[in-house]
C-alpha cells in the first residue's frame, strides 16, 4: 500500500481581510484620474471558478500553452534542479498544471509542495487534484506571500506559472522579482511563465470572449464589493471592456459605466459619482518579447538557464537560478 499525500492549510496572520479589502477599494476608487481596483480581488470563490472556465475557452490559449509546456518538458525541467527540492507555488489555482512537475519529482524524491493562494476554494481544489500522487505532502498557505521555510540543505523551487507576472507593469515586475530573489538562497530556482507578444485581434478576442465569461469574471468584482462591503453597484449598468495598450504592451480590462450614476459602498465609507463612459481599471496583462526574460533575470539577480516556448499560442516557461 502506498502512502497518500497529507494536506493542511495555514492561514497567514494578517489584518482583518474585510478592512484590508475596504481600504484598497477606497484608495483605488478615489484615485485622481483613472480609478482602479486591485486585480487580486477578482479571484474570490466565484471569480476563481469563472477563471477555470475561461482557461478552457477556445479563444484563451494561454492556460493550454502553459500546460502543454509543463506536460512535454517537466522531466527536462526537473533534471536541471538540485536535490532535494521543496516546491512553493504562488497562485496555484487548481494545481492541474503543476501535476506534471510534481509527478516528475515523484520519480526521484519525496517532495513537500506548498501552494500559496488567496482563495481557500482554490487550495481545496488543488489538494483534490493532486491527492493521488505518491510521496507528495501538501501544505497550503492561504496567503499572497511566499513562505520559504526549509531545512538545511534543501533547495527551493518557486513556481510563478501562467501569466501572473504580466499583471505587474514592468517596473513593478522587476521589483517583485527582486523581492523573490531576496528570499532565496544562491542555487534556488524560479520557474516563471511569460505570455509572449501576439497579434492584437487575437488578444482582444481572448480577453473579451463571445460567450461573455470574461465579462462575467470582471463584473463579479463589483458583485463581490456588493456582497462583502455592502456596496450598491447595479451590475447591468456596467460593461466589460478589453483594450490593448501599445505603449505598455499590455491587455487591459476595464469596467465602463453605461450612464451617470452614484454608488455607495457602506463598509468603505464611500459615496461615488461616476460619469457615463468613465471606467474602472481592473487588470493588466503585459506581453513579453521572447528574449526579454533573460534580461529581466540578470537585473533581478538571477540567471535564466533555460527557456521552453510554445508556438501554437506564443508562451514561455523560463527557469531562473538565483546567483
Task: Render each residue's pLDDT in the chain as its tens digit; 323 residues.
Answer: 333 344 444 444 445 889 999 999 999 999 999 999 999 999 998 998 999 899 999 999 999 999 999 999 999 999 999 888 888 888 766 567 888 988 898 888 787 887 777 666 566 666 666 665 655 566 555 555 565 566 677 899 999 999 999 999 999 999 999 999 999 999 999 999 999 999 999 999 999 999 999 999 999 999 999 999 999 999 999 999 999 999 999 999 999 999 999 999 999 999 999 999 999 999 999 999 999 999 999 999 999 999 999 999 999 999 999 99
Q: Could you tell me if residue 104 is inside a domain?
A: yes
Tell me whether residue 306 is in a domain: yes
Phi, psi (deg, nearest 5) at residue 214: -65, -35
d(CA 9, CA 174) in angstroms, rounded, equals: 30
Please tell me the distance from the alpha carbon of residue 160 to that of residue 150, in angstroms, as a whole number. Answer: 19
- What is the residue range of 98's domain? 59-198+290-322
Is residue 94 within 8 Å of 227, Cβ to Cβ? Answer: no
* Shared domain check, 151 and 139: yes
**115/224 same-domain check:** no
Of 260, 102, 93, the C-alpha closest to 161 is 93
Claim to verify: residue 156 and residue 271 sit in the same structural domain: no
Locate all alpha helices (DSSP H) within the chain, ordered by sequence. Answer: 17-29, 45-54, 62-79, 98-106, 120-130, 170-183, 200-207, 213-229, 292-300
Q: Is position 176 within any domain?
A: yes
Backbone angles phi, psi at 247, to 5 degrees: -70, -40
Write b or e for each residue in 124-153: b if 16 or more Cβ atoms lie within 10 A of its Cβ, otherwise e. bbbbebbeebebbebbbbbbeebbbebeee
Domain count along the chain: 2
Judgement on whether residues 233 and 271 belong to the same structural domain of the protein: yes
Query: Judging by beta carbons within 10 Å of its beta carbon (0-12, 13-18, 19+), is residue 280 exposed, middle or buried?
Result: buried
Q: Which residues contact 106 (CB under 8 A, 6 or more apart)?
A: 133, 134, 135, 136
- Rounded to whole angstroms, the Cα distance separating 84 from 249 reads 39
Closest CA to 97 of 120, 125, 121, 119: 125
Q: Are 304 and 174 in contact (CB under 8 A)?
A: no
- The radius of gyration of the chain from alpha carbons, rounded to an integer in Å, stands at 20
Are 190 and 234 in a shared domain? Answer: no
Taking the C-alpha atoms of residue 92 and residue 108, their distance in angstroms, rounded to an integer, is: 22
Q: Is 288 helix (H, G, I), strand (E, B) or coil?
A: strand
Say how far apart CA 232 and CA 262 lie, in whole Å: 9
Would you mind telling me the total number of residues written for the chain in this entry? 323
Residue 49 lies in a domain: no
The predicted structure's pLDDT at residue 3: 35
The pLDDT assigned to 1 comes to: 31
Residue 114, strand partner residues: 88
In a domain, 148, yes or no: yes
Would you say residue 29 lies in a domain? no
**Chain mean position to CA 162:** 7
Amino acid at each position: 500500500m502506498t502512502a497518500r499525500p497529507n494536506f493542511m492549510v495555514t492561514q497567514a496572520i494578517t489584518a482583518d481581510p474585510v478592512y484590508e479589502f475596504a481600504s484598497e477599494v477606497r484608495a483605488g476608487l478615489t484615485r485622481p484620474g483613472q480609478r482602479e481596483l486591485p486585480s487580486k480581488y477578482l479571484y474570490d470563490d466565484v471569480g476563481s471558478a469563472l477563471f477555470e472556465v475561461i482557461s478552457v475557452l477556445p479563444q484563451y490559449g494561454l492556460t493550454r500553452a502553459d500546460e502543454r509546456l509543463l506536460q512535454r518538458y517537466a522531466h527536462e525541467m526537473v533534471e536541471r534542479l538540485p536535490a532535494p527540492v521543496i516546491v512553493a507555488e504562488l497562485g496555484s489555482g487548481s494545481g492541474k498544471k503543476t501535476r506534471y512537475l510534481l509527478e516528475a519529482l515523484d520519480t526521484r524524491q519525496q517532495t513537500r509542495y506548498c501552494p500559496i493562494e488567496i482563495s481557500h476554494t482554490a487550495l481545496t481544489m488543488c489538494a483534490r487534484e493532486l491527492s493521488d500522487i505518491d510521496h507528495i505532502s501538501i501544505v497550503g498557505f492561504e496567503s499572497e506571500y511566499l513562505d520559504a521555510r526549509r531545512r538545511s540543505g534543501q533547495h527551493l523551487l518557486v513556481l510563478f506559472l501562467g501569466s501572473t507576472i504580466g499583471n505587474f507593469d514592468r517596473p513593478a515586475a522587476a521589483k517583485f522579482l527582486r523581492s523573490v530573489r531576496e528570499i532565496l538562497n544562491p542555487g534556488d530556482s524560479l520557474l516563471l511563465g511569460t505570455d509572449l507578444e501576439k497579434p492584437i485581434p487575437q488578444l482582444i478576442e481572448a480577453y473579451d470572449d463571445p460567450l461573455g465569461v470574461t465579462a462575467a469574471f470582471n463584473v463579479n468584482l463589483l458583485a463581490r464589493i456588493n456582497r462583502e462591503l455592502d456596496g450598491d453597484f447595479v451590475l447591468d449598468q456596467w460593461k466589460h471592456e478589453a483594450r490593448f495598450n501599445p505603449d505598455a504592451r499590455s491587455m487591459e480590462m476595464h469596467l465602463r459605466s453605461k450612464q451617470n450614476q452614484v454608488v455607495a459602498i457602506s463598509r468603505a465609507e464611500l459615496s461615488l459619482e461616476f460619469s457615463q463612459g468613465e471606467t474602472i481599471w481592473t487588470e493588466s496583462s503585459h506581453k513579453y518579447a521572447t528574449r526579454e526574460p533573460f534580461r529581466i533575470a540578470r537585473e533581478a539577480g538571477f540567471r535564466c538557464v533555460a527557456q521552453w516556448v510554445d508556438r501554437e499560442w506564443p508562451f514561455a516557461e523560463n527557469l531562473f537560478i538565483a546567483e
